[in-house]
Amino acid sequence: MYFTFTHPYRHLKRYQEIGRVLVSHGFGEFLDQMQLLPILNVPRRLLRRAPREPVGAPVRLRLALEELGPTFVKFGQILSTRPDVLPPEYIEELSKLQDTVPPAPTELIRKQIEAELGQPPSAIFATFEEEPLAAASLAQVHAATLQDGTEVVVKVQRPDIRPIIETDLEILMDLARLAQRHTPLGQIYDLEDIAEDFAYTLRNELDYRREGRNADRFRKNFQDEPHLYVPLVYWEYTTSRVLVLERIYGIKIDDIQALKDAGYDTREIALHSARIIIKEVLEDGFFHADPHPGNFLVMPGHVIGAMDFGMVGQLDNWLKEELVRLYIVSVQMDTEGVVEQLIRMGMAQAYVDRRRLQRDMSRLLTKYRGLPLREIRATEVVQDIMPIAFRHHLRFPTDLWLLGKTLSMMEGVALQLDPEFDMFAVSEPYVRKFVRQLYSPASVSRRVALSARQWNDLARDLPRHANRLISAAAEGRARVVLQIEPDNPLLKQLNRVTNRLVIGVVTAAFIVALALLFPLLSFTWPWPLITWLTLIGFGAASLLGIWLLLSIWRSG
């Protein structure tokens, strides 16, 4: 049975283009599993051809995504934060995805600005540089000055990029549904949910008003922090497709030699950057999730200037508290407690192989047991967790993987600034403060009050719901539905037991019935047909009984 596309006539050409690219990079078998080759008009003989590049599958996947364009590049970047879905070698390769493309013609950019702001750029900006400062698949950035001489940067979305993105998102949803039905991955992961999350994230990224609000939120959170500067957003010139920000100048945070030549203390910069990250995570629960060096500049006074707030992560209080509890049982080397906490947080399934997960967690914790904090690197810890997450299908929230990636990138920059830098030592006072807050009388009383309200609600609603349930049962409207997955091992074992029981009963009944016929049979030669049929049936039933006994004996 073939799949029906959501929009076959509008998107079939794009489907076929995607199919040809995947086949050329050696992923035709994936399309074949989903029964797409006939629909995409891709000859099956192409599956026998060697991939275009004689390299491993992770590299070929990265090259295929880059060739398919911005939506798939962004999708690959999101997948690079999901080591619960892909093996570590794929995660490492997809982290290399590049989002750089030739700039769009300046005339098209000017028309886009005029369409969004209702005026030509010459009426808004005193100057507007035609050569972009940066160009990516979704947007490009130009330097400009306002009429009062204020220097700004103008981020402009590429013309006509949204229809392309929407088409590709529809196709990704179709492919996710197919993979959910026809591939082994669909038996393990909710691929449609992953595709929906990605579509939500990408559509948010296309709205520059959201990025402006993120910048304002960071500025408010750090209003008392003298060593972080967030550029101003000029809201009167900002729309969903155009963002105008204050232009800031400085030295890239990873240009160590330039920083030293300018007289900066790189150890102080490393300390400030670590404090900023820790405050974002433990205090605010709102952090910059794209901390590559190009997004941070060092300004006079050892002030760090931050840019590009399109990608952020959020940790609510519940998740922060649960992470601290996970940290506590890990420090205590309580592997059983670690597994229970992972299940409590919804990161491990209740039916996970606890013994094997405990074994893997024990090996991980033993590796770091007794090591001083200065010898532990966040990057190494994250890399050690990745294969465990993949092996046991641990479903960490996306924001948590973004946090791990953020800490790893910032630790790498900090180590360039100060080779003796110790992220854990810097964060320890903040963690202790958070733990004290977690178990403070005010925090405990707040949780007790919340539990009391929930118990009160339950006590108030229980009689009403119980009456409804009893009435429904009395009227025959209440049903109990037991749903068991088709590939559940318990169901398979139950099927085997039932089959043996049925075969045993039928065989016994057959033998008894044939035995009752024996006195009525005639054994005078030549034997009549009824005698032959009875003897053959008796022999067949005996063999079936012997086979049944042997199968039971072999199974233990």
Q: Which residue has the higher pLDDT, 495 or 194?
A: 194
Residue 222 pLDDT > 90:
yes
Beta strands in 11-83 (DSSP E): none
Read out DSSP for 180-244?
HHHSTHHHHS-HHHHHHHHHHHHHHHT-HHHHHHHHHHHHHHTTT-TTEE-PPB-GGG--SSEEE
Q: Which residue has the higher pLDDT, 30 or 251?
A: 251
Residue 150 pLDDT > 60:
yes
How would residue 144 be classed by pLDDT, with cut points 50, 70 and 90?
Answer: very high
Residue 213 φ/ψ region, left for φ over 0, alpha for ψ in the -120 to 50 degree band, beta for the rest = alpha
Helix runs in 393-483, H state only: 398-417, 423-438, 441-474
Query: To the nearest whole percent, how much of the chain has pLDDT over 90?
Result: 26
Instruction: List pLDDT tens digits, range 56-111.
Output: 888 989 999 988 988 899 888 888 877 778 888 888 898 888 777 788 899 999 99
Q: Rounded mean pLDDT of 131-150? A: 92
How would residue 473 be classed by pLDDT, with cut points 50, 70 and 90?
Answer: confident
Strand, coil or helix: what is 99?
coil
Q: Are 311 and 290 contacting, i.e. CB atoms less than 8 angstroms apart?
A: yes
Instruction: List pLDDT tens digits, range 243-290.
Output: 999 999 999 998 999 999 999 999 999 889 888 888 888 888 899 988
pLDDT of residue 127: 96
Q: Which residue has the higher pLDDT, 499 or 93?
A: 93
Residue 154 pLDDT > 90:
yes
Residue 242 pLDDT > 90:
yes
pLDDT of residue 165: 92
pLDDT, averaged across the chain = 82
Residue 521 φ/ψ region, left for φ over 0, alpha for ψ in the -120 to 50 degree band, beta for the rest = beta
How would residue 186 be classed by pLDDT, with cut points 50, 70 and 90?
Answer: confident
Rounded Cα gap, residues 332 and 334, in angstroms: 5
How would residue 373 be classed by pLDDT, with cut points 50, 70 and 90?
Answer: low
How do 125-128 and 134-135 pair as beta strands? unpaired
And the tokens for 186?
């669909």
Instruction: List pLDDT tens digits, range 442-458.
Output: 766 776 776 777 777 77
pLDDT of residue 489: 62
* Cα angle: 238, vertex 243, 244; to 5 degrees: 85
């304002």: which residue's tokens? 216
Q: Which residue has the higher pLDDT, 381 or 443?
A: 381
Query: To the nearest whole percent, how much of the chain has pLDDT over 70?
Result: 86
Q: Are 221 and 298 contacting, i.e. CB atoms less than 8 angstroms apart?
A: no
The one-letter amino acid at 284: D
Residue 554 pLDDT > 50:
yes
Rounded Cα gap, residues 251 and 123, in angstroms: 32
Kindly report each contact of residues 544-550 with a partner whose C-beta sits within 8 Å and lies 24 or more positions away, as own/partner.
544/503, 544/507, 545/504, 545/507, 545/508, 545/511, 548/500, 548/503, 548/504, 548/507
Instruction: List pLDDT tens digits, range 293-314.
Output: 788 999 999 999 999 898 888 8
- Which range, 51-60, 203-212, 278-287, 530-539, is most confident? 203-212
Rounded Cα gap, residues 357 and 353, in angstroms: 6
Q: Is the dihedral of CA 68, 69, 72, 76 positive or negative?
A: positive
pLDDT of residue 213: 96
How would residue 125 be classed by pLDDT, with cut points 50, 70 and 90?
Answer: very high
How would residue 44 be classed by pLDDT, with cut points 50, 70 and 90?
Answer: low
How far is the CA of 196 from the CAs of 172, 193, 350, 541, in angstroms?
9, 5, 25, 57
10 Å CB burial of residue 171 (0-12, 13-18, 19+) is: buried
Rounded Cα gap, residues 548 and 16, in angstroms: 53
pTM exceeds 0.95 = no
Q: Is the peptide bond before 519 cis (omega within 30 degrees of 0)?
A: no
pLDDT of residue 305: 95
According to DSSP, residue 4 is labeled P
Q: Is the dihedral of CA 25, 30, 31, 32 positive or negative?
A: positive
How would residue 438 be classed by pLDDT, with cut points 50, 70 and 90?
Answer: low
How would residue 8 be classed by pLDDT, with cut points 50, 70 and 90?
Answer: very low
Please give the helix or strand (H or E) that residue 140 lies within, else none. Answer: strand 139-146
Residue 25 pLDDT > 90:
no
Dmax of the chain from CA atoms?
123
How would residue 1 be classed by pLDDT, with cut points 50, 70 and 90?
Answer: very low
Contact partners, residue 348, CB within 8 Å, separation at least 6: 339, 342, 357, 392, 394, 395
Q: Rounded mean pLDDT of 123-134? A: 94
Residue 142 pLDDT > 70:
yes
Residue 84 φ/ψ region, left for φ over 0, alpha for ψ in the -120 to 50 degree band, beta for the rest = alpha
Residue 160 pLDDT > 60:
yes
Q: Rounded mean pLDDT of 479-499? A: 66
And the tokens for 404?
């791990």
10 Å CB burial of residue 15 (0-12, 13-18, 19+) is: buried
Buried b vs exposed e over 301-311: b needs ≥16 C-beta within 10 Å? ebbbbbbbbbb
Of 211-220, 476-485, 534-543, give the lowest mean pLDDT range: 476-485
Nearest-CA neighbor of 506 among 473, 458, 535, 545? 545
Supply the residues annotated as catalytic. Answer: 290
